[in-house]
Structure 1
């Protein structure tokens, strides 16, 4: 894909994907890759050479991690010497991506990329690359203007601790990467952190927070097994005061341990927006009330119940594998029972439940939240959504008739009235 106009637009995107559209994946060879890169280099040179007196507000370049791709970097370097480019984004992909990228491929890509001097980058996405801890430190040191770093399917070594230091970085995304943990040593400008599926051993937290004074948004997603450490927020969220917390349980085990307000209160005292995604329908919901008890400033609470595990181990898998998954991904929530006597909350304005059903568990939970939230203004009860990857759609007992909806509406109004007394 090539976007932009030499005359009218100050934003240019050059994407290597548009250059190999004519090839089938099974027929795409290394020679084809070299030819595609050569074509992209010509296009990059042509686009950046024209009207060089006009400044660019954004230049985004997406390319493969092969030796030939260095020519693209040189084109950009030459262009920046002769024209003003306000923001530069690099997205670097291997020829083989995601789960199909073997450890050998990752090592090759890591050797090819090396720690390059990308001193003008504002956004950097690295995917399926094996880098040493020192290499990653060098990348951060050279990219001194970097604002947004995205790491996906990268291999830093199972026992390695990924240490992060950067003065300008505001957004960090760490998805499906292999390392023991991530240590945020000094990130004074970091505002948002995403950690999606971690491999931390059972005795370690996936992240440690040393100096992140501006961190306000934390997004965590994991398919927790019986071997993962259950996270106590009072021990995990040390040195941070987040205002937005987004937890995705991927329809597997609940990996957060409920805590009393005395323990969880200090780390959740600034929390205003809470999302609890993909809670398996076998799990009870009352345990989530500990957030209301510990977060007095909470304004909006989103709870999603979902009956769909990973697309990778559904009906087509062998029986033995399914039984192993059931053992490893135990969803038993007996340990998540929670006392909530006389709970009152004065800041909560919105409650949204996605995947609501006419069942005792949902009715009881909704009532408890509505009665506790004295100043509640909005309650939204939504049906399941279909899976965007496999079109799975759960059969539900969602209230569909006007009579059912009328009954629930009146129940909520009644609970709200009794709760405010």
Structure 2
């Protein structure tokens, strides 16, 4: 409903004289906190926060000395923003006009407030017009959770939170039926409860489990043939192995340092799978495994594969720039990430397999991240041989002097592999090499790739320098310089005696 036309002396500024639809469009460009503040500017603006179509409330934005106080403020704000605007403040029929398209609530587990959250959101989402409805459960800060840690013990507070959340889901079946996204952090479940939770979310499209675990570490079997889940994320999820028995709508999978056994994943019926992002820490007791052991013949549409080889944990906040760049590149996740890893051991066994070639027949983009520089490079070419449609190939060697090897990590070992003599790849267009401090080895590898490909258009080289160490290898740093003379020398070595017209870009 449009506002009355502006008249001189009316006492209303020109912006406030705009129609409600335009004013709403303006404040929806702001953060929720700023939008609510804008609603307090005048009576003319007061009803607008009650018409926002996108709401994202985060418990971390509220202050209090206890979890109860924080969640009291969070629940109150949620109730007010989802309530119908008081008639005295708005003459329009907000209840009929308003459509909440996106509703994302990020909160702590607090028994007295969970039922309130459920009742508040049900009236909104059951109208059927909310396209994105997500719960994100996170642990409170260390200060707020100190009492609970003392009461339940360091080992059991996750289990207590897990029980609370399961009880919440069972007491709020309507709300969970409408969820499209669920993100859980630091909870502990029994296998049956976790599967029941997934089954209770009829409309769930995205599920993320970070730092969660099973009560008894065992194989997690996900068999949900009628689900619409298209994205699964496991970050530091503690179990023995993950079996995706049947997840027919799944398109994206991210699994970072989650499983104890090799292979860490088994893909059953996942015909829609497009992207796999896998990072794993190889332990001394684990032998390398073949990728064909993971993938079933039902995986025929895979187009993107990112593999990161982990070892020693590094604080993400203080991580060097190159680590942040790598994680930004390989993670298709909107979750906050608390830690990243560096490779100490190759856990893949290169293979020549007709089965692997059939599975990788549509693979377009592959990235192999963070393997140690002492390892050779030729072993990576088994991917090139198994993926005839590959167009972009990224290889990243780790050189990070400030990282200490963990005691249970597998020892560094070279991987011997030679490509087939008749290999001629026709579709590779872009080769990205990150970390070329060992110039001879990298130049020889790139020249080999150039010989084995017929359609290569661009080669990108990017140096990698440790910025987080107090004990920097100065000799290696000098060798890794990328001044104009160095760039010219490398380009000359790559093109010497070669008629290829490949563009070489050195960053």
TM-score (norm 1): 0.85
State yes or no: 1:154 paired with 2:212. yes
State yes or no: 1:72 paired with 2:132. no
Match of 1:44 among 63, 78, 102: 78
Where 1:270 maps in the other structure, the secondary structure is: coil
> What is the CA–CA distance in structure 2 between the aligned matches of 1:392 and 1:85, rounded to whole Å?
54
Match of 1:63 among 103, 107, 112: 107
Question: Cα gap change, 1:137/1:170 in structure 2, threshold over 3 Å: closer, same or farther?
Answer: same
Structure 1, gaps ≥5 residues long: 315-321
Does the Cα contact within 8 Å between 1:164 and 1:184 map onto a contact in 2? yes
Where 2:266 maps in the other structure, the secondary structure is: strand
Which entry has the higher C-alpha Rg, 1 or 2? 2
The residue correspondences of 1:307-346 to structure 2 (distance < 5 A) are 307-308=399-400, 314=404, 325=407, 328-333=409-414, 335-346=415-426
**Residues 100-121 of structure 1 deviation map (CA, whole Å, 9 limit, x = unaligned):** 9843111110111115131111
The aligned counterpart of 1:352 is 432
**Residues 328-385 of structure 1 deviation map (CA, whole Å, 9 limit, x = unaligned):** 331211x433345353211100000111225211111111112212110110000116
Question: Cα gap change, 1:222/1:257 in structure 2, threshold over 3 Å: closer, same or farther?
Answer: same
Where 2:177 maps in the other structure, the secondary structure is: coil
Q: CA deviation at 1:261?
A: 4.7
Question: Cα gap change, 1:80/1:65 in structure 2, threshold over 3 Å: closer, same or farther?
Answer: same
Where 1:379 maps in the other structure, the secondary structure is: strand
> What is the CA–CA distance in structure 2 between the aligned matches of 1:35 and 1:303, rounded to whole Å?
49
The aligned counterpart of 2:275 is 217
Structure 2, gaps ≥5 residues long: 1-30, 36-47, 86-93, 311-342, 503-507
The aligned counterpart of 2:163 is 111
State yes or no: 1:174 paired with 2:234. yes
CA RMSD for the aligned pairs?
A: 2.8
Does the Cα contact within 8 Å between 1:384 and 1:393 map onto a contact in 2? no
Does the Cα contact within 8 Å between 1:244 and 1:273 map onto a contact in 2? yes
> What is the CA–CA distance in structure 2 between the aligned matches of 1:144 and 1:363, rounded to whole Å?
53
Match of 2:196 among 119, 138, 148: 138
TM-score (norm 2): 0.72
The aligned counterpart of 2:182 is 124
Question: Cα gap change, 1:308/1:358 in structure 2, threshold over 3 Å: closer, same or farther?
Answer: closer
> What is the CA–CA distance in structure 2 between the aligned matches of 1:145 and 1:390, rounded to whole Å?
47
Q: CA deviation at 1:60?
A: 0.7
> What is the CA–CA distance in structure 1 between the aligned matches of 2:364 and 2:420, rounded to whole Å?
20
Where 2:79 maps in the other structure, the secondary structure is: helix
Q: CA deviation at 1:294?
A: 1.4
- How many residues of Structure 1 are paired with residues of Structure 2 in the alignment? 394
Moved more, 38-47 or 114-123: 114-123
The aligned counterpart of 1:34 is 68
The aligned counterpart of 2:480 is 398
The aligned counterpart of 1:198 is 258
Q: CA deviation at 1:291?
A: 1.1
Question: Cα gap change, 1:189/1:271 in structure 2, threshold over 3 Å: closer, same or farther?
Answer: same
> What is the CA–CA distance in structure 2 between the aligned matches of 1:287 and 1:376, rounded to whole Å?
19
> What is the CA–CA distance in structure 2 between the aligned matches of 1:331 and 1:255, rounded to whole Å?
11
State yes or no: 1:88 paired with 2:88. no
Does the Cα contact within 8 Å between 1:146 and 1:169 map onto a contact in 2? yes
Does the Cα contact within 8 Å between 2:210 and 2:235 map onto a contact in 1? yes
Does the Cα contact within 8 Å between 1:358 and 1:399 map onto a contact in 2? no
Does the Cα contact within 8 Å between 1:371 and 1:416 map onto a contact in 2? no
**Residues 25-66 of structure 1 deviation map (CA, whole Å, 9 limit, x = unaligned):** xxx5xxx11011011111000000144431011011000022
> What is the CA–CA distance in structure 1 between the aligned matches of 2:470 and 2:81, rounded to whole Å?
41
Question: Cα gap change, 1:107/1:379 in structure 2, threshold over 3 Å: closer, same or farther?
Answer: same
**Residues 153-184 of structure 1 deviation map (CA, whole Å, 9 limit, x = unaligned):** 11114542212133200000011111111111
**Residues 274-326 of structure 1 deviation map (CA, whole Å, 9 limit, x = unaligned):** 000111112111110111111111100011111238x8x64xxxxxxx6x63x
Does the Cα contact within 8 Å between 2:274 and 2:303 map onto a contact in 1? yes
Match of 2:246 among 180, 186, 201: 186
State yes or no: 1:260 paired with 2:320. no
